[in-house]
Amino acid sequence: MRDATPAQTDETVYLKDYAPVPVTVTHVDLHVRLDPRATEVSARLTCKRQGPGEMVLNGEQLEMVALRLDGKDLPADRYTLTDKTLTLHDAPDAFLLETVARISPETNKALEGLYMSNGMYCTQCEAEGFRRITWMLDRPDVMATYDVEIEADLPVLLSNGDEVAPGKWHDPWPKPTYLFALVAGNLVAASDRFTTMEGREVALNVWVRPGDEGRTGYALDALKRSMAWDEQVYGRAYDLSVFNIVAVDDFNMGAMENKGLNVFNSKYVLASPETATDTDYALIEGIVAHEYFHNWTGNRITCRDWFQLCLKEGLTVFRDQQFSADMRSAAVQRIGDVLQLRARQFREDAGPLAHPVRPESFVEINNFYTATVYEKGAEVIGMLRRLVGPDGYQAGCDLYFERHDGQACTIEDWLKCFEDATGRDLSQFALWYSQAGTPRVTVEESWEDGVWRATLRQVVPDTPGQTDKIPMTIPVAWGLLDADGAELRPTEVFELSEAEGVIEVETASRPVLSVLRGFSAPVILEHDQSDADRLVLLAHDTDPFNRWEAGRALAKARLVAMVAEGTAPDAPWLEAIAKLARDETADPAFRALALALPSEDDLAQTLHVGGIVPDPDAIHAAREAAGLAIAQALASDLGELRRAMRVTGPYDANAEDAGKRALDAVLLRLATRLDGGDAARAAYGAADNMTDRMAAFTCLLEAGDPSVAKAFEEDWKHDRLVMDKWFAAQVMHSAPDRAVGIATGLTRRDDFDAANPNRFRSVIGALTAGNPAGFHQKDGSGYRFLADWLLKMDAMNPQMAARMSTAFDTWRRYDADRQDLIRAQLDRIAGESISRDLAEMVGRMRG
């Protein structure tokens, strides 16, 4: 398609047009005879009329071999077949529709539908991949039971549900097509068992390629902990006799919650101390939990249509964040979640791709698996919980599970459960689902005649297609400290539900306000607080999130001044940072986060909002200078601090040890700024795990000593996942003016396989997201590089290309020359024959 913008295309789908199907499917019987180029899919659909109208089935890239209705070949005048649909004319009230389709998994590089990855067959059906397997009503409100028979000369044949005979599967739980899965290959399992609170014995398997069994232990353990947690916290038990997880090397996303058969990007399953970092372990834990939790929030209760995607995703992200907070440090988890939210969702909300948590139209649904739907969707659940309280939240969830089990639901259904369970009117709160953009909340304080007052004002900014927004319900958690840091008022929640609200407290001395504690709402807070107050909060706030936030605000103010005014970091700030680094009472993981400077992209956005055109090189230089100043302030302590972080005994991925390694890595980076890499070389040599090894490796790359890259490659060239790290590190940690050259060189290597999403992201994504100053080089080389790859990728895997194109979404922040350069690349892409996926994204970004 050529140059389609959402407004121009007749392919746009609207929420307001939702209508149930006239004829539904209640049971699917599939027989799949696997073959790389000629797989035959025989489907028998039990169909039932529920209203007037024709039955329109979806089917794409299928070759029709047979079509029968109630056992008889269907005459040509009873149906219409196009490259996207099969329409039945005059379908009876109840009938059996039989089709035979031929497909070619081996040539499917889009990784949607049935495809092959390293010799194994696997499927990805969310959102609309099932239509590439056979003709079906490929939409989430059509829920059917399934019988699947797989024929192939392969040892392991898996599908959803319970195995009734070798290669034969029955799934008794009605499910939409997007939760269908099939896997076949030469696989081995690491297995365990779990007994549910209802007494059901469940076999747990993690299927991997032979040789990878030794790296499955952590995922299996995370699965058992997830199952137990969902029982304890949400009262939800598993409902089949087997739970299978399969690791796949070629996968577009993180993982997929297919009923009873989760398919994972191997990066989020396989871990050993030698090959995975602490961050990998934490991600595996979180993603295993996320997919498992979908069994109730997504599978048992699913979405009526794709506009309701946040119904399952926002809630499930919220649940996995709760789980990780319970498994690790809640404060550290919250800071990490907010860092992510700001980096990805605030950025999205501030640009041309901004959309509501529940969008109202789309061209390609795959383009809406976004930070807004997922992460802001989770924040909305967190706010709801804060507003109705933990008991109200539990009552609402219980009612939701009870009332809607087995149904395909909407956000209205979800909110109604909380209204009915708590008696609270949530109509204004519901605006969080329909109004896009990050609200700005300004806080103005006064203290006069023994009365302290904070005036809070909210503004919801305009976003594409939305202006003149209505004030929302914003839960603002706050508390007061005195000037010495003692607590004056513990945390309370103020509900800001109008454009302006006032908090008033009688107090004999001027208090220090700690506001938006725990980041109680996804808003941008504008609070002109003095350095002195921020230092009090940094040292004493009882709310650990706000302690960290105070440090962040101080750091940001310094860095903005360094970029905009050329100032140098001041002594009081450096002293405060150094004090925090030395504070043995604080958790090392927390100290590591507090010592980390705001990212270059975060600073660019902050400058832009402040009316300053961000210069990526100047931002990079300021961050470097600030890092050096911190290193100098801590110079005499670095050795001793690092020794205190030494972890004894064999590697364990637990949060405590990981926190020590995280702080040690920050300290090593500081040391490298002073010693040119001596400490890092020693650390690299001494490392006995991938966390420490990567920390030292990236320090050496930053110090301009790439010699270790060769050694690293020699050690790990046999391991795809470790080599992904090697590729990414070189791009992310190179000097900005060398980054595009390095990335280009890496793409020319034999082991750069662009068809593998992990490898593609480890070079192209590492440049766009991991080296902003490199991507935004003045000569436009980064933009050209990205556009070249988007065009190449689009021909293979449109979903991947569309996702990666979002690197251009901040183009309006930059100077006129950079804007012209980016626009030229967007125009160039739009002028080519590109997929609907990429066309929609480029159209929205060009505006």
Which of the listed partners (ligand 0A1, Zn ion, none) does 209 bind, with a CB threshold of 5 to 8 Å by partner kind? none
Give residue for tokens 């005649």: 449
At how many degrees (to 10) do helices 377-404 and 411-422 cross?
Answer: 80
Kindly state the smallest distance separating residue 218's Cβ from Zn ion, in Å: 20
Q: Which region among 123-131, 500-508, 706-714, 810-818 touches ligand 0A1 (by CB under 6 A)?
A: 123-131
Q: Return the bridge partners of 527, or none.
A: 443
Among 366, 529, 691, 810, interactor with ligand 0A1 by CB under 6 A: 366
Q: Which two tokens stand for residue 693?
A: 């090894």
Binding partner of residue 825 among Zn ion, ligand 0A1, none, CB under 5 to 8 Å per kind? none
Residue 297 binds which of ligand 0A1, Zn ion, none (CB < 5-8 A, kind-dependent)? none
State the minimum distance, in angstroms, from the CB of residue 337 to Zn ion.
Answer: 15
Of the residues 112, 291, 348, 445, only one is catalytic, namely: 291
Contact characters 256-295, Zn ion, x per CB under 5 A = ----------------------------------------
As measured in angstroms, the least distance from the Cβ of 316 to ligand 0A1 is: 7
Alpha helices, DSSP H, located in 341-430: 347-349, 371, 377-404, 411-422
Tell me if 369 contacts ligand 0A1 by CB under 6 A: yes
The residue whose Cβ lies closest to ligand 0A1 is 253
Three-state secondary structure call for residue 271 = coil
CA dist., res. 591 & res. 450, Å (int): 36
Which residue, 288 or 474, has its beta carbon nearer to Zn ion? 288
> Residue from 42, 252, 275, 491 that binds ligand 0A1 (CB under 6 A)?
252
Of 625, 623, 588, 587, give the one whose Cα is nearest residue 604: 623
Stretch that binds ligand 0A1, among 120-128, 354-362, 558-566, 582-590 (CB under 6 A): 120-128
Least Å distance, CB 351 to ligand 0A1, is: 22
578's CB contacts (< 8 A; 6+ apart) are 630, 633, 634, 637
Cα 747 vs. chain centroid, distance in angstroms? 26
Amino acid, single-letter form, for residue 265: N
- Give min distance, CB of 166 to ligand 0A1, in A: 28
Angstrom distance (rounded) from CA 548 to CA 83? 55
Shortest reach from residue 837's CB to ligand 0A1, in Å = 10
Stretch 297-326: interaction string toward Zn ion, x if CB under 5 A: ----------------x--x----------
Q: Tokens representing 224?
A: 């058992």
Q: What Å distances lie between residue 365 and 155, 309, 757, CA to CA?
A: 35, 10, 19
Distance, in Å, from the CA atom of 543 to the CA atom of 273, rounded to the nearest integer, reads 33
Chain positions 254 to 273 lying near ligand 0A1, rule: CB under 6 A, are: 254-257
Residue 212 binds what, of Zn ion, ligand 0A1, none (CB under 5 to 8 Å, by partner type)?
Answer: none
Q: Which is it for strands 302-303 and 408-409: parallel, antiparallel or unpaired? A: parallel
- Helix and strand numbers, DSSP H then E, in the chain: 29, 31
Assess whether 291 carries a catalytic annotation: yes
Q: Which of 47, 67, 86, 253 binds ligand 0A1 (CB under 6 A)?
A: 253
User: How would you class 49 by CB atoms within 10 Å of its CB: exposed for 0-12, middle for 13-18, buried for 19 or more?
Assistant: middle
Candidates 252-260, 345-353, 387-395, 700-708 — which segment interacts with ligand 0A1 by CB under 6 A?
Answer: 252-260
* Interface with ligand 0A1 in residues 705-764 (CB under 6 A): none
Binding region for ligand 0A1 (CB under 6 A) out of 121-129, 518-526, 560-568, 804-812 = 121-129
Burial of 467 (0-12, 13-18, 19+ CB in 10 A): exposed
What lies within 8 Å, CB to CB, of 237 at 6+ separation is 196, 197, 198, 200, 230, 231
Q: Is 124 exposed, middle or buried (0-12, 13-18, 19+ CB in 10 A)?
A: buried
Question: CA-CA distance, 541 to 534, in Å (whole number)?
Answer: 10
Please give the DSSP secondary-structure letter assigned to residue 466.
B
Closest separation between CB of residue 273 and ligand 0A1, Å?
A: 26
User: Of Zn ion, ligand 0A1, none, which one sits near residue 256, judging by CB under 5 to 8 A according to partner kind?
Assistant: ligand 0A1
Taking CB under 6 A as the rule, which mask of x and - marks residues 312-341 in contact with ligand 0A1?
A: -x----------------------------
CB of 754 to ligand 0A1, least distance (A): 18
Based on the shown chain and the rule CB under 6 A, indicate whether residue 18 belongs to the binding site for ligand 0A1: no
615 binds ligand 0A1 (CB under 6 A): no
Q: How many angstroms separate the CA atoms of 142 and 407, rounded? A: 10
The least CB distance from residue 111 to ligand 0A1, in Å, is 8
**Residue number, 256 or 603, with CB nearest to ligand 0A1:** 256
Query: Which partner in Zn ion, ligand 0A1, none is near 369 (CB below 5 to 8 A by kind)?
Result: ligand 0A1
Among ligand 0A1, Zn ion, none, residue 388 binds (CB under 5-8 Å by kind): none
Size of the site for ligand 0A1 (CB under 6 A): 15
Q: What is the smallest separation between the CB atom of 288 and Zn ion, expressed in angstroms?
A: 12
Q: Find which of ligand 0A1, Zn ion, none residue 98 binds, CB within 5 to 8 Å per kind.
A: none
Nearest distance in Å: CB 58, ligand 0A1: 15
Query: Residue 33: which of 84, 96, 101 has the closest Cα?
Result: 101
Which of 125/481 has CB closer to ligand 0A1?
A: 125
CB 586 within 8 A of CB 662: no
The residues in 683-742 that bind Zn ion, with binding defined as CB under 5 A, are none
| Closer by beta carbon to ligand 0A1, 323 or else 590 | 323
User: Quick one: which of 124, 159, 367, 372 contacts ligand 0A1 (CB under 6 A)?
Assistant: 124
Looking only at residues 171 through 190 of this chain, which bind Zn ion when binding is defined by CB under 5 A? none
The minimum distance between CB 294 and ligand 0A1, in angstroms, equals 7
The pair of structure tokens assigned to 28 is 């699917």
List beta partners, residue 204.
192, 243
Secondary structure letter of residue 259 according to DSSP: T
Nearer to ligand 0A1, 303 or 696 (CB): 303
The answer to whether residue 122 forms part of the interface with ligand 0A1 (CB under 6 A) is no
User: Pairing state of beta strands 72-73 and 63-69?
Assistant: antiparallel
Tokens of 710: 């060769």
Residues facing residue 66 across a β-bridge:
100
- Could you tell me which stretch among 240-248, 249-257, 647-655, 802-810 binds ligand 0A1 (CB under 6 A)? 249-257
For strands 512-515 and 474-481, give the pairing: antiparallel
Extract the tokens encoding 655: 């949060």
Q: Does 126 bind ligand 0A1 (CB under 6 A)?
A: yes
Q: Report d(CA 780, CA 766) in Å as an integer.
A: 17
- Spatial contact of 161 and 240, defined as CB atoms under 8 Å apart: yes
Among Zn ion, ligand 0A1, none, partner that 126 touches (CB below 5 to 8 angstroms by kind): ligand 0A1
H runs (alpha helix) in 703-835: 707-716, 720-732, 736-747, 757-760, 766-770, 772-775, 781-796, 798-804, 816-830
Give the footprint of ligand 0A1 on residues 127-166 (CB under 6 A): 127
CA distance 438 to 463: 9
Of 362 and 726, which CB lies nearer to ligand 0A1 in the complex structure?
362
Q: Using the structure block, give the residue that is written with the tokens 């539904």.
A: 24
Taking CB within 5 to 8 Å according to partner kind, which of Zn ion, ligand 0A1, none is near residue 354?
none
Minimum distance, C-beta of residue 126 to Zn ion, in the bound complex (Å): 9
Q: How far apart are the first and last CA of the chain?
A: 18
Reduced to 3 states (helix: H, G, I; strand: E, B; else coil), residue 9 is coil
What is the set of active-site residues?
291
Name the residues that contact ligand 0A1, by CB under 6 A. 124, 126-127, 252-257, 290-291, 313, 366, 369, 799
Name the residues that contact Zn ion, by CB under 5 A. 313, 316
